[in-house]
Amino acid sequence: MSASDLRLDQAPPFTVPLRFFLTAPWFALLAAALLAWQGPEALASRWSPTTLALTHLFTLGFLAMTMLGALMQLLPVLASSPIARPKLVGGAVHGLLTLGTLALSAGFAASHPPLLRAALWLLGGGFALFIAAAGWSLWRADRANPAVWPLRLALMALLVTVVFGIIIGISRTTSAAGSASAHWTDMHLAWGFLGWVGLLVMGVAFHVVPMFQLTPAYPAWMTRRLAPLLFAALPAWSLGLLLAPQHSFFTVMANALAVVIGLGLAAFAIVTLRLQSQRRRQLPDVTLRFWQLAMTSLLACVVMGLALRFAPGNFPRLELMLGTWLIAGFASSAIHGMLYKIVPFLTWLHLHEQNVRGTLPNMKQIMPDTRTRPQLWIHGVALLLVTVAILHPGFWVYPAAATLALSYAWLGWNLSSAYAVFRRHVMEGLINPKM
């Protein structure tokens, strides 16, 4: 390869993904504050207004925020296809998502329909812009690239998730308030967690786990077949769920597909854990621990999900627990693992690109283990305390909220510190900042 083959403007400016990464932890902190403010009532059931506000502060404010920022950075790298006008698109998507998430959560918490309607416009606009920009980028990407299909499918799943979310939102804000059936909400959740989050984590893991953790490559059958299989199972499963009340055949179909999806996700988690145990450099690594926690949580979620599907009766506590472990155990832990690699790496890379004079810090100096390792433990303790709080709402809600707040504030502080290292070196040694 020669210089002429390269598009040096491919990677977005540092500020494009960074604004998403630096904002995200504060939404989780806000969720912890809301949990502490509302107390045990917040965990009454998955349908309580406060729980809906909490859920969306985490899923939109923390998960989607980091995932959209990461995709803005990863599309040029993984799919060799950058998003056009990244500063403009990134800034607009970030602004709309930030305002929309705040409006939606406040609208849920205060049961305020005008706020919810405003949120639907803001979030709908933000996601539409992102899906159009990322979709155009992935449309032009090389089909032979194995990263492209999981990303395309994840983006399509995001589109379906957003559409279901808007339909449910409209039904809540119109005269037919609260008419959205549990099935529609379940499909919104399934497309969000299994499609969008699951396929994106999978598509990214297929690349970054072998590369950053020095593991053997994922087996070819998994990288080629698993994402399309799961994606194909989702609409069929949704259809089965919708039509299940009308004919027992569809119940059987929905159950069979739930098993297929569960086994697929479990296979991904087990293969990832196995590959990580075979890594070439057996040194302790915080990001590896976060990934292991994410995969173990995913396995626990598969067990809980299948138990909920097949056990007779209602288990509202188990439903809450499944949601919590999907968000805080699986998705959030994987995102921690990604952020603690990608943020110091981008800081390091952009420092070198700035032609800063003098000795530049290495990755470990930008994000020292002494700061990330304690956060891993706090994150783990927060996860356990939230689990206890779900089982015994009451006193335990408060320590759970406090450790959640501490964990995400710590994450936010670590990420901000990396950016502070970048700013300090640029200010001290630099010539022409290309921000």
Binding site for other proteins (CB under 8 A): 1-3, 6, 8, 11, 77, 211-214, 280-281, 345, 348-349, 352-353, 355, 362-363
Would you say 321 and 297 are in contact if contact means Cβ atoms under 8 Å apart?
Answer: no
Nearer to other proteins, 14 or 396 (CB): 14
Cβ 150 to other proteins shortest distance, Å: 19
Cβ 151 to other proteins shortest distance, Å: 18
CA dist 205 and 30 (Å) reads 29
CA dist 81 and 151 (Å) reads 12
Nearer to other proteins, 213 or 375 (CB): 213
Would you say 111 and 49 are in contact if contact means Cβ atoms under 8 Å apart?
Answer: yes
Nearer to other proteins, 18 or 194 (CB): 18
Would you say 123 and 65 are in contact if contact means Cβ atoms under 8 Å apart?
Answer: no
Cβ 281 to other proteins shortest distance, Å: 6
CA dist 352 and 361 (Å) reads 10
CA dist 422 and 85 (Å) reads 24
Calculate the alpha carbon distances from 356 to 7, 323, 364, 423 in Å. 22, 45, 19, 11
Calculate the alpha carbon distances from 285 to 141, 368, 416 in Å. 33, 11, 21
Cβ 79 to other proteins shortest distance, Å: 13
Nearer to other proteins, 242 or 363 (CB): 363
Nearer to other proteins, 357 or 392 (CB): 357
Would you say 278 and 215 are in contact if contact means Cβ atoms under 8 Å apart?
Answer: yes
Cβ 269 to other proteins shortest distance, Å: 22
Buried b (16+ CB within 10 A) or exposed e, 364-386: eebbeeeebeebbebbbbbbebb
Cβ 433 to other proteins shortest distance, Å: 14
DSSP string across 273-292: HHHHHT-S-----HHHHHHH
Cβ 338 to other proteins shortest distance, Å: 13
Nearer to other proteins, 128 or 430 (CB): 430
Nearer to other proteins, 1 or 314 (CB): 1
Q: How far does Cα 148 stand from its chain's mean position?
A: 18
Nearer to other proteins, 214 or 271 (CB): 214
Cβ 293 to other proteins shortest distance, Å: 19
Select from 142, 148, 13 the least CA-distant residue to 86.
Answer: 13
